[in-house]
Each structure stands twice: as C-alpha cells, then as structure tokens.
Amino acid sequence: MFKLVSKGNVKYYIITSFEETGLVRHGFSTRAGGVSEGCYGSMNLRFNCDDTRENVLENFRIMADTLDMDVSRLVLSKQVHEDNIHTVTETDAGNGISRENSFTSVDALITDKSGLPMVTLFADCVPVFFLDTKNRVAALAHSGWRGTVKRISQKTVEKMKRDYGSKAENIITAIGPSIQECHFEVSDDVAEIFTSEFGADTAVKYGDRYHVNMQLAIKKQLAESGILPDNIDDSGICTYCNSDRLFSHRKTNGKRGNMGAFIELI
Ligand SMILES: [Zn+2]
C-alpha cells in the first residue's frame, strides 16, 4: 500500500511493504514541501528547466533530509526512455546531483550495496520499485510507454536474478503514482503496440480514442518474471487526476516539475 506521510511541510509516499522489511530507506515525493514556485511549486526535482539549479538542489537536500539520506551521495539516473539498467557502485556516489551526471542512458538503477541512495524522476511515467528481501538488492525503474514496451521492469527482475541470484518469489515490487488509463490517451499506433505486446485489455477505447493502461502492462511483465501477485503493489494513483499535489506532464502541457522515487539499502 502507498501511504501519504508528512514530515514538516514535506508530503511523500511510502510503500508499507517496503517499510516493513526494515531493509531500506525509501519514498516517492509529491509537490509539497519544496522551495520552487509557479508551475514548479514546490518540490521540483527537475534540472534543465526554467527553475533555478539552486532551487532544485535545495529540494533534493530537503528530500534527502526527510528520508534520512546523505544528499551528497544521491545517485541520479539519466532517463532517455531506453532500457539500460545501471549497476550502482561506490564510484557512482553523487552522480548527477553533487557532481555532473556521467551517465548517458540509464533508465533503471540497481544495487546490492548499502549507503548508495538512488533516485529516478517522474511526471506521468511509471515509477517501479524492486527489493529482493533475501539477497538485499534494491532497484528502481523509469517506465514510460516506451520503457514499458521495452519491458524495462521485466529486464530489471531478470538482471536481479542473473547478477545477484535473486529468486522471483523473494522480490517485492511497487508501481507508483503515474498517469492511469483514465487519462493516458494515445495514438492508434501506440495502442496497437500495447495490444499486440500485452493483450487487448491494456489498450481500451474511450469514445473514438484509445487509452493505454501502462500499469497493467507492467504487472503482466512482472508476473511473467515470476513475481508473485501479492508482491506487486499498485498505487493506483493517477498523476493527471491529482495534479494539485502531483506533477503531471499531460495535464500541464509540460509546464511542470519532477517528482522523485528514492531508495537506499540500509
Ligand atoms: Zn486520471
């Protein structure tokens, strides 16, 4: 279950199944509790926009403090809607936040090392959290529609199995706030890709336009990897429907900040 919690002015989600393991610090930010203004108000974690770098860095600092993480060690992805999964090690500490981002194409992060807090960014695309509770492996994936079609979540589970000996039944997963079928209208060709790749129930007609259910497509690929149904926690929270407290790219025609998914092995 995704639970909205507050610390000072900061509001963020925690995943109760992840919290209960005692193995990780984690969270998913909302718009609340930052220093940015206007369409970036207020917890904007997006660099390279009209918000100032100082604001974004301060927002990262506030989130890190809130989640009891070391901001100087945060490892940021480099999301380009591909399916590259980066294995995070000590040399990555600080990548993209306390120093320049040295990645070129990293839409998922994975590690079995403690003390390396990882971050991926969102504003409608789907955040997917992973934790092998037995072998202590954590991962985050950024799954927009392209990443979903490239099966980045499935590939992350396969990498956990291959590189860390993870067994599917020991992996818990969670699908965070993102644009849901109610608002994710797509062109006919995108609908066709989902129908052929994941089945007709992932692209549903609303009037004369198709809407895609990315979360269902992700659940199907997780199930194919052997993740148990009880170990897939779907927030069901639509960013577009809740744009007062969550950033939504679609709702705002791109005038928006980014939210962050954070996870660190303790
Ligand atoms: Zn919606």
CA–CA separation, 95 and 100 (whole Å): 6
CATH code of 102's domain: 3.60.140.10
Count: domains in the chain:
1
94 CA distance to ligand 1 middle (Å):
35
183 CA distance to ligand 1 middle (Å):
4
184 CA distance to ligand 1 middle (Å):
7
Q: For residue 33, which of 44, 22, 24 has the smallest C-alpha distance?
A: 44
125 CA distance to ligand 1 middle (Å):
13
**Is there a domain that residue 202 lies in?**
no
Coil, strand or helix: which one is 103?
coil
Coil, strand or helix: which one is 149?
helix
**Is there a domain that residue 50 lies in?**
yes
**Is there a domain that residue 256 lies in?**
yes
Amino acid sitting at position 227: I
Q: What DSSP element (H or E) covers 10?
A: strand 10-15
**Is there a domain that residue 160 lies in?**
yes
- The overall pTM is greater than 0.85: yes
Q: How far apart are the first and last CA of the chain?
A: 21
**Is there a domain that residue 215 lies in?**
no
pLDDT 10s digit of each residue in the chain, 266 long? 999 999 999 999 999 999 999 999 999 999 999 999 999 999 999 999 999 999 999 999 999 999 999 999 999 999 999 999 999 999 999 999 999 999 999 999 999 999 999 999 999 999 999 999 999 999 999 999 999 999 999 999 999 999 999 999 999 999 999 999 999 999 999 999 999 999 999 999 999 999 999 999 999 999 999 999 999 999 999 999 999 999 999 999 999 999 999 999 99
**Is there a domain that residue 189 lies in?**
no
**Is there a domain that residue 70 lies in?**
yes
Structural domain boundaries enclosing 41: 2-177+228-265
**Is there a domain that residue 232 lies in?**
yes
Q: C-alpha distances in angstroms, 185 versus 27, 139, 167, 201, 206?
A: 28, 29, 36, 14, 8
